[in-house]
Amino acid sequence: METLDKIKLIYSFTDNDASNLMQLSGLMGSNANDFISNTYSFIANFDDFSKFLPDEEIRNRHQEKLKFWFMGLFSGTYNNEYLRKLKRIGEVHAEIKLPSHYVSATMNYIRNFTHGIIFRNFPSSGKRDELIASVNKIIDINLDIIISSYISEGKFYIAATKFETKIIKFSSKFSYILDLSLVISLIVATIMVFLLFAFEIYNFAFGGGDFESTVVDILGAMLIVWAIRELLEEEVKKLQGHKFALSAFIGLAMAALLRKILIFSLVPQKSTEVAILGFLVLVLGIVYWLMNKSSKS
Ligand code: HEM
């Protein structure tokens, strides 16, 4: 796992850099409002600025967060919590599908803006060059981590050869078609379970089916419909470019086992099977809970 210490080492970011940046904190704080207005004038030129930041409420919220991030550059404390926050910023931008070039271009603008302040306030070269070098390091570290979150989200891949590019394009189209066929199959499966549902009611009403087993069969069918619905929702999310939540499959397995338990519970001789299935549901339940917990944290 990456730690900020490792990244600092790669960038030769020393305690002296941290202290240089901290020295700039007051000066940058007094320019924070200018920072926001100038940076916003810059990003307002992007074609789809209004698509990503459509109204005053979102812009104000973003400006607050941007200001907080800017002041964080000069806090002097760069630990793993700082790293986590930067990764989060990358993930938020990747999630809204903001082109990574926008972040890089904005970072370039912020670098020049910060240099400008230093140039105006430190006319002689010695200390000024040292401050500029430290600012460059922290901005490069920020850009690196924010953009890495895009890469780890799988948003872009640099192929080495044309053949590789073709293979990648083909496999991504193929996987898209597979996803689409999965969605269609899931819809068909749902319709079939509904037919089963209708058949159970018909059988009970006109075929003299047993009341208890009809109720259990209907409950079982409902469980399966619920689980397929979850799976379908995840599959559609995947088609829209989101991550697939594997926990939906665990949900489906749990629903299938619960259905079996419901059916077996009507047969007294099947109590061992019911106990084994119950244990399996418990194990799957723990896995489901753990997966949901880790995806939230
Ligand atoms: C150096 C460049 C940028 C930095 C440092 C930055 C910083 C941030 C931060 C700190 C957040 C909050 C993340 C969180 O909730 O944890 C955020 C969210 C966001 N950013 Fe940026 N941003 C940058 C560039 C941009 C650009 C160029 C755009 C659009 C043109 C943009 C649009 C957004 C949007 C829409 C959100 C979500 C806002 C919300 O709903 O709260 N960002 N950004």
Pocket of ligand 1 contains residue 53 by CB under 6 Å: yes
Residue 62 CB less than 6 A away from ligand 1 = yes
pLDDT tens by residue, 18-77: 999 999 999 999 999 999 999 999 999 999 899 999 999 999 999 999 999 999 999 999
CA of 93 to the centre of ligand 1 (A): 6
Q: Does 244 sit in the ligand 1 pocket, CB within 6 Å? A: no
pTM: 0.59
Q: Of all protein residues, whose CA lies closest to atom 3 belonging to ligand 1?
A: 103
Q: Which of 68, 81, 92 to mutate to test the pocket of ligand 1 (most atoms within 8 A of CB)?
A: 92
Nearest atom within ligand 1 for CA of residue 52:
35
pLDDT at 236 over 60: yes
SS (H, E, C) the chain: CCCHHHHHHHCCCCHHHHHHHHHCHHHHHHCHHHHHHHHHHHHCCCCCHHHHCCCHHHHHHHHHHHHHHHHHCCCCCCCHHHHHHHHHHHHHHHHCCCCHHHHHHHHHHHHHHHHHHHHHHCCCHHHHHHHHHHHHHHHHHHHHHHHHHHHHCCCCCCCCCHHHHHHHHHHHHHHHHHHHHHHHHHHHHHHHHHHHHHHHHHHHHHCCCCHHHHHHHHHHHHHHHHHHHHHHHHHHHHHCCCCCCCHHHHHHHHHHHHHHHHHHCCCHHHHHHHHHHHHHHHHHHHHHHHHHHHHHC
- 88 Cβ below 6 A of ligand 1: yes
User: Shortest CA distance to 262 belongs to which of 208, 205, 224?
Assistant: 224
Is the CB–ligand 1 distance for residue 49 below 6 Å? yes
Residue 296, pLDDT score: 56
Taking a C-beta distance cutoff of 8 angstroms, is the pair 150, 90 a contact? yes
Residue 155: which of 95, 217, 212, 198 has the closest Cα?
95
Cα-to-centroid distance, 102 and ligand 1 (Å) = 10
Domains of the chain, residue spans = 4-152, 162-296
Considering only residues 129 and 198, tell me which one the structure prediction assigns the higher pLDDT.
Answer: 129
Q: Is the CB of 102 under 6 A from ligand 1?
A: yes
pLDDT at res. 23: 97
pLDDT on residue 93: 94
pLDDT band of residue 155 (cuts 50, 70, 90) is very low
**Minimum CA distance residue for ligand 1 atom 22:** 66
Which of 61-65, 150-154, 204-208, 238-242 comes out lowest in average pLDDT? 150-154
Mean pLDDT lowest for which of 13-27, 149-163, 176-190? 149-163
Rounded to whole angstroms, how far apart are CA atoms 176 and 204?
A: 42
Residue pLDDT, tens place only, 248-297: 778 878 888 888 888 787 777 777 888 888 898 898 888 888 877 766 55
Q: How wide is the angle at C-alpha 177 spanned by C-alphas 173 and 180, nearest 5°?
A: 140
Does domain 4-152 fall under CATH 3.30.110.30? My reply is no
Tell me how far apart the terminal alpha carbons of the chain are, to the nearest angstrom.
Answer: 16
Predicted pLDDT at 232: 81
Q: Is the CB of 52 under 6 A from ligand 1?
A: yes
Ligand 1 centre to CA of 147 (Å) is 13
- pLDDT for residue 151 is more than 90: no
Residue 16 has a pLDDT of 97
